[in-house]
Amino acid sequence: MERRQPSRRDFLGLGVAAMVASACGGCSLLGSQKADVVVQAETGVLRLGEADSSALLGSETNLLVAAEGGNEKILVVHRPDGTLFAVSSVCTHMGCDVDYDKNLGHLRCPCHGSQYGLDGHNIKGPAKKPLKRYSVSAENGRVVITL
Ligand code: FES
């Protein structure tokens, strides 16, 4: 069997495919994270279980929370001073899930580097719109997010 030599068109096609893949920065592969906790919403409120609440409130950490049957994922961050923040985890640039960066002290998108304050305000682009913010509190040792 004779092997066909790659044509100029084959090389161009490969180049275009590589450019499209790199322009996204791996959005669909890196950018979407599975929720750590899925909670059933009760009249517009997500109430985390005792174990998840205790783990979150016990240290400087974060938890990715989703409402059962919903599309939105909410990143809840607990700071060392005891403050809680809850924002949509969906980056307003191209939809990757943002992470809490302890070293920066705010949120960072792994796809193209946008940064947000813990209350969702923009710090660095390319994202231009803020993250949606949710009300969050600790009530009797349970973390409660108002949708
Ligand atoms: Fe591009 Fe977040 S998806 S910076």
CA gap 119, 39 in Å, rounded: 22
pLDDT confidence of residue 26: 46
3 secondary structure, DSSP code: P
pLDDT confidence of residue 100: 96
64 SS3 class: strand
Instruction: List the residue whose alpha carbon is closest to atom 1 of ligand 1.
Output: 112
Are 55 and 64 spatial neighbours (Cβ–Cβ below 8 Å)? Answer: no
pLDDT confidence of residue 20: 39
Listed residue (120, 44, 32, 130) closest to 76, CA to CA: 120
pLDDT confidence of residue 5: 56
Consecutive 10-residue averages of pLDDT for the chain (147 residues): 50 41 48 88 92 92 91 92 95 96 94 97 97 96 94
pLDDT confidence of residue 15: 44
Listed residue (97, 110, 102) closest to 77, CA to CA: 102
The C-alpha angle 39, 43, 44, rounded to 5 degrees, equals 70
Q: Report CA(13)–ligand 1 centroid distance (Å).
A: 26
Cis peptide before 6 (omega within 30 of 0): no
Q: Report CA(96)–ligand 1 centroid distance (Å).
A: 6
Mutate to test the pocket of ligand 1, among 29, 88, 97, 111 (most ligand atoms within 8 A of CB): 111
pTM of the model: 0.79
